[in-house]
């Protein structure tokens, strides 16, 4: 309350102390918020290391916002070596938790030709935990289908951009179908 709202009696110092305490106690929402605030609002932080420390702690607990932010950092190469596979993993995990921005980023990368990292696909093959039988290894999955699933996640989260991407893909599929009919 002290940190977020401009109400009589609110004290930013108390709010900051409570946020730091919650982050140090392991609250992923507090870790993510503190990491963001340290990076954006604090002129006294000499580097992004302290902010990144709290973001990493939130990522370790699979906080969707932190995963999305770390994915963006890996994608752009800001503060770390550019790593598309790590960005894809972060976006994938955040989209599984319903993060619309991560779903859009992941779907867009799939459409641009980025390959799904093995760390993600590895769990789609092998033995079934329930039956113990070997699952069939699927051939390379269709990136358009995978991207469509991601844009659906974004649309269900209320993201207009997800709806726009779904419409574009639908138009693309209709156009492809017409071309196939003409060629026959």
Do both 109 and 92 map to the same domain? Answer: yes
Do both 53 and 89 map to the same domain? Answer: no
Q: How many domains does the chain have?
A: 2
Do both 71 and 44 map to the same domain? Answer: no
- Residues 150, 95 contacting (CB under 8 angstroms): yes
* 3-state secondary structure (DSSP) of residue 145: helix
Do both 20 and 96 map to the same domain? Answer: no
**Residue 101 is part of which domain span?**
65-158
Residue-wise pLDDT tens digits, 1-39: 345 555 556 677 788 889 899 999 999 999 999 988 887
Residue-wise pLDDT tens digits, 82-117: 999 999 999 999 999 999 999 999 999 999 999 888
- Residues 28, 56 contacting (CB under 8 angstroms): no
- Residues 15, 1 contacting (CB under 8 angstroms): yes
Distance in angstroms (rounded) separating the CA atoms of residues 45 and 76: 22
Do both 50 and 111 map to the same domain? Answer: no
- Residues 117, 149 contacting (CB under 8 angstroms): no
Residue 84 counted as domain residue: yes
pTM of the model: 0.78
Residue 129 counted as domain residue: yes
* 3-state secondary structure (DSSP) of residue 126: coil
Do both 52 and 94 map to the same domain? Answer: no
Do both 45 and 76 map to the same domain? Answer: no
DSSP assignment, residue 80? S
Do both 150 and 85 map to the same domain? Answer: yes
């Amino acid at each position: 309350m002290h940190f977020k709202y401009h109400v009589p009696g609110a004290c930013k110092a108390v709010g900051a102390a409570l946020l730091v305490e919650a982050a140090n106690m392991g609250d992923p929402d507090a870790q993510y918020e503190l990491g963001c605030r340290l990076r954006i609002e604090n002129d006294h932080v000499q580097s992004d290391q302290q902010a990144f420390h709290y973001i990493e702690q939130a990522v370790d607990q699979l906080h969707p916002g932190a995963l999305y932010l770390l994915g963006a950092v890996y994608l752009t190469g800001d503060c770390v070596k550019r790593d598309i596979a790590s960005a894809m993993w972060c976006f994938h995990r955040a989209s599984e938790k319903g993060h619309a921005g991560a779903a859009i980023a992941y779907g867009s990368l799939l459409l641009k030709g980025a390959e799904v990292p093995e760390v993600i696909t590895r769990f789609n093959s092998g033995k079934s935990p329930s039956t113990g039988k070997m699952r069939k290894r699927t051939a390379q999955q269709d990136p358009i289908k995978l991207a469509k699933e991601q844009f659906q996640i974004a649309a269900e989260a209320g993201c207009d951009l997800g709806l726009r991407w779904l419409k574009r893909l639908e138009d693309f599929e209709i156009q492809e179908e017409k071309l196939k009919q003409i060629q026959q």
